[in-house]
Amino acid sequence: MKEKSFYLTSLGCAKNTVDSSSMAALLLQEGYTQVRRPSHAKLLIVNTCGFIQPSREEAIHILQELARKKRPGQFLVAAGCLTERFSRMVVEQVPQVDGILGTKNWMDIVSLAARLRAENPPKTLFNLPESTQLSRDEVGVSRATVQGGSAYLKIADGCHRPCAFCTIPLIKGTTTSRPVSAIIQDVQNLQEQGVQELILIAQDTTSYGWDLGLKDGLAVLLEEILKSTPHIPWIRLLYTYPGYVTNRLIELMASQPQILPYLDMPLQHAHPGILTRMRRPANMDWVYKTLEKMRKAIPGLTLRTTFIVGYPGETETEFQTLLDFVAEIRFDHVGVFPFSFEAGTASEPLGDPVPPEIKQERLEKVMLLQQDISQQNNQAQIGKTLQVIIEGREDTISVGRSYRDAPEIDGLIFAEGKAAIGKIVPVKITGALPYDLLGHIQQS
């Protein structure tokens, strides 16, 4: 076991993966080596997710597993969202944890590691921020994580929206946007590395620049990215907030071929009463009009959304409104989650009155309906040739995604033929499954 070696496992969403990549980059700069096996590392780091109860349970389980096999001289660090809110609980359940690092100050990983190695403290060291704001994260390392030919790039963190069910503002504080110049620097480096797909992420990408005093900040940022990186063919937006997809943003998406015609807009529900209780934008008229406007302006637009079912007090009628909406809009991709009760959120006083079996039943109803719609939407792709970014290969089958699919959350294309990972190649679509497509690679 090398003195300066670390093992890092990252849980949760792509935003957490970016923080993990940045922590790893800081440690590598300090002369650490990253190892694949926990038994070979001096420092064991788990970058946890604490968004909802199942993610907290998973994080505790992984920490306990590492703790069980921990050897003398090894240090176990719990970092990330779970530790930001529940550090005491983590130490109670996993007393072998040597260091706690809050998600707001992931950039302190090097100093925390140095203290652990130098002091070998008998009790857990806590490194949690005093401020409710995210710490400044421009510390000389990239805020991106590269996977094959794609890169997630964090443009902001934290959230200032008031959604009643969400713990993110409690964990991360309000929106903190990165300066445009720092983002451009990262994008240029990614372009030099040959990245083909740039995926912009934040808790809410449409609030980018709000705290910097920028008006229409996401559109402003995209214009700068387009100017400085003409060689990244695909730019994808995730996590947009209803009401803040502006005309300028729509025009940009419609006129700039680099920006993929793909929009991920988590709507959470379709009944104005529920949306009001969720403290979300409840103007469904705006939603209908905007989706129609976007579909007209952007040919081939792929729409993705997510919904919560079983929100406190959700009646059969309110749920039916959601089903009708899904049937009418015919989204390309829909994610559905059962409501998860979270103490400390604005919805806490509402309790969790909808029984789990009703939540599950409603979830399945939406998914079943959507499965049919997705199958029909996929069927309509047969005969078309789509550009596909290759993510993997087995024998003579290459696996990838077209502009219609974001990594991890949407479908895949299985294509006969060989192509290099990270390349974008034309694929003729020959078959459709509910979520995935089949095809063969065209010779270019």
Quote the DSSP letter at residue 268: B
Candidates 105, 177, 203, 229; binder of ligand SF4 (CB under 6 A) is: 203
Spatial neighbors of 172 by CB under 8 A, at least 6 apart, are: 81, 84, 103, 104, 134, 157, 158, 159, 203
Q: Using the rule CB under 6 A, is 176 a contact of ligand SF4?
A: no
Per CB under 6 A, 277 contacts ligand SF4: no
CB of 12 to ligand SF4, least distance (A): 13
When binding is defined by CB under 6 A, the residue of 94, 155, 159, 303 that contacts ligand SF4 is: 159
Q: SS3 for 281?
A: coil
Question: By C-beta, is 59 or 159 nearer to ligand SF4?
Answer: 159
Residue carrying the six token digits 């219609």 = 404
Shortest spacing between CB 162 and ligand SF4, in angstroms: 7
Q: Nearer to ligand SF4 by C-beta: 167 or 191?
A: 167
> CB neighbours of 120 closer than 8 A, spacing ≥ 6?
none
* Number of neighbours of residue 405 by Cβ within 10 angstroms: 25
> Are 294 and 250 spatial neighbours (Cβ–Cβ below 8 Å)?
yes
Which residue from 99, 149, 169, 173 is in contact with ligand SF4, where contact means CB under 6 A? 169
d(Cα 412, Cα 148) in Å, to the nearest integer? 15
**Cα distance between residue 423 and residue 346, in whole Å:** 45
Nearer to ligand SF4, 42 or 85 (CB): 85
Interface with ligand SF4, residue 163, by CB under 6 A: yes
Classify strands 385-394 and 333-338 as parallel, antiparallel or unpaired: unpaired
**Which region among 159-167, 187-195, 286-294, 320-328 touches ligand SF4 (by CB under 6 A)?**
159-167
Would you call 123 exposed, middle or buried from its count of C-beta atoms within 10 A (0-12, 13-18, 19+)? exposed
Residue type, 282: A
Does residue 241 bind ligand SF4 (CB under 6 A)?
Answer: yes
Does position 85 interact with ligand SF4 (CB under 6 A)? The reply is no
The CA R_g of the chain, rounded to the nearest whole Å, is 22
Determine if 218 is a binding residue for ligand SF4 (CB under 6 A): no
Smallest distance, ligand SF4 to C-beta of residue 332, A: 21
Q: Residue 20 or 240: which CB sits closer to ligand SF4?
A: 240
Segment interacting with ligand SF4, rule: CB under 6 A, options 82-90, 149-157, 158-166, 312-320: 158-166
Asked if residue 83 lies in contact with residue 96, where contact means CB atoms within 8 angstroms, the answer is: no
3-state SS, residue 79? strand
| 291/308 with CB nearer ligand SF4 | 308
Among 84, 98, 108, 204, binds ligand SF4 (CB under 6 A): 204
Asked if 127 interacts with ligand SF4 (CB under 6 A), we say no
Other CB atoms closer than 10 Å to residue 289's CB: what's the count? 11
Piece in contact with ligand SF4 (CB under 6 A), picked from 109-117, 165-173, 229-237, 300-308: 165-173
Which residues sit at the interface with ligand SF4, rule CB under 6 A?
159, 161, 163, 166, 168-169, 203-204, 241
